[in-house]
Homo-oligomer: A and B are copies of this chain.
Amino acid sequence: MDKFQQYVNANQDRFIAELQDFCRQPSVAAQNWGMSEMADKVLARLQKLGARAQIIPVADGAPVVYAEIGEGKRTLVIYDHYDVQPPEPLELWESGPWDAAIRDGKLFARGVADNKGNLMCRIQAVEAYRATLGALPLKIKFVVEGEEEIGSIHLPQFVKENRALLEGADGCLWEAGYKDVNERPVISCGVKGIAYVELHARGANRDLHSANAAIVVNPAWRLTWALATLKDADDNILVDDFMKHVRAPTDAEMDALETIPYDEDKVKADLGIKSFIRNLTGIELLKKYLYEPTCTICGLYSGYIGEGSKTVLPNHAFAKIDFRLVPDLSPDLVVDLLKKHLARRGFADIEVVLTETGEEVARSPLDSAVVRAAIEAAKRVYPQAPVVYPTMAGSGPMYPLCQQLGIPAVGAGVGWHDSRSHAPNESVRLADYFEGIEFIRELIDQFAR
Binds B, one of A14-22, A297-305, A368-376: A297-305
Q: Taking the complex as formed, is A77 at the interface, i.e. its CB lies under 8 A from any CB of chain B? A: no
Q: Taking the complex as formed, is A224 at the interface, i.e. its CB lies under 8 A from any CB of chain B? A: yes
The one of B215, B218, B221, B423 in contact with A312, judged by C-beta atoms closer than 8 angstroms, is B423
The one of B151, B213, B288 in contact with A294, judged by C-beta atoms closer than 8 angstroms, is B213
Whether A211 contacts B394 by the Cβ 8 Å rule is: yes
Q: Taking the complex as formed, is A307 at the interface, i.e. its CB lies under 8 A from any CB of chain B? A: yes
For residue A212, which residues in chain B have a CB less than 8 angstroms away from its CB? 271, 393
Mask, A214-257, CB within 8 Å of B = 1, is 11111011111101100111010000000000000000000000
For residue A31, which residues in chain B have a CB less than 8 angstroms away from its CB? 306-308
- A211/B423 contact (C-beta < 8 A), A224-B227, A304-B299 known: no
For residue A196, which residues in chain B have a CB less than 8 angstroms away from its CB? 309, 311
For residue A356, which residues in chain B have a CB less than 8 angstroms away from its CB? 309
A side interface size, CB within 8 A = 92
Whether B207 contacts A395 by the Cβ 8 Å rule is: no
For residue A435, which residues in chain B have a CB less than 8 angstroms away from its CB? none
Chain A residues numbered 330-387 whose CB sits less than 8 Å from any CB in chain B: 346, 355-356
- A150/B208 contact (C-beta < 8 A), A276-B215, A297-B314 known: no
For residue A277, which residues in chain B have a CB less than 8 angstroms away from its CB? 214-217
Binds B, one of A59-67, A129-137, A317-325, A398-406: A317-325
- A210/B302 contact (C-beta < 8 A), A215-B276, A285-B215 known: no
- A86/B304 contact (C-beta < 8 A), A273-B216, A289-B215 known: yes
Roughly how many angstroms separate A210 CA and B355 CA in the complex, as a whole number?
16
- A302/B306 contact (C-beta < 8 A), A207-B424, A210-B324 known: no
The one of B276, B298, B305, B422 in contact with A320, judged by C-beta atoms closer than 8 angstroms, is B305
Binds B, one of A1-9, A95-103, A198-206: A198-206
Q: Taking the complex as formed, is A189 at the interface, i.e. its CB lies under 8 A from any CB of chain B? A: no
Q: Taking the complex as formed, is A23 at the interface, i.e. its CB lies under 8 A from any CB of chain B? A: no
Roughly how many angstroms separate A301 CA and B319 CA in the complex, as a whole number?
9
Q: Taking the complex as formed, is A44 at the interface, i.e. its CB lies under 8 A from any CB of chain B? A: no
The one of B149, B233, B271 in contact with A204, judged by C-beta atoms closer than 8 angstroms, is B271
Q: Taking the complex as formed, is A292 at the interface, i.e. its CB lies under 8 A from any CB of chain B? A: yes
- A298/B310 contact (C-beta < 8 A), A276-B215, A346-B233, A422-B207 known: yes
4 further A-B contacts with Cβ under 8 Å, apart from A210-B324, A221-B235, are A204-B272, A206-B423, A210-B296, A215-B276
Subset of 18 A-B contacts with CB under 8 Å: A30-B308, A85-B312, A88-B304, A92-B207, A150-B309, A192-B211, A206-B271, A207-B424, A209-B394, A212-B271, A213-B294, A217-B273, A217-B277, A222-B233, A224-B227, A298-B312, A300-B317, A311-B322
A interface vs B, CB < 8 Å?
29-31, 85-86, 88-89, 92, 149-151, 192, 194, 196, 203-218, 220-225, 227-228, 231-233, 235, 271-273, 276-277, 280, 285, 288-290, 292, 294, 296-314, 317-320, 322, 324, 346, 355-356, 392-395, 420-425
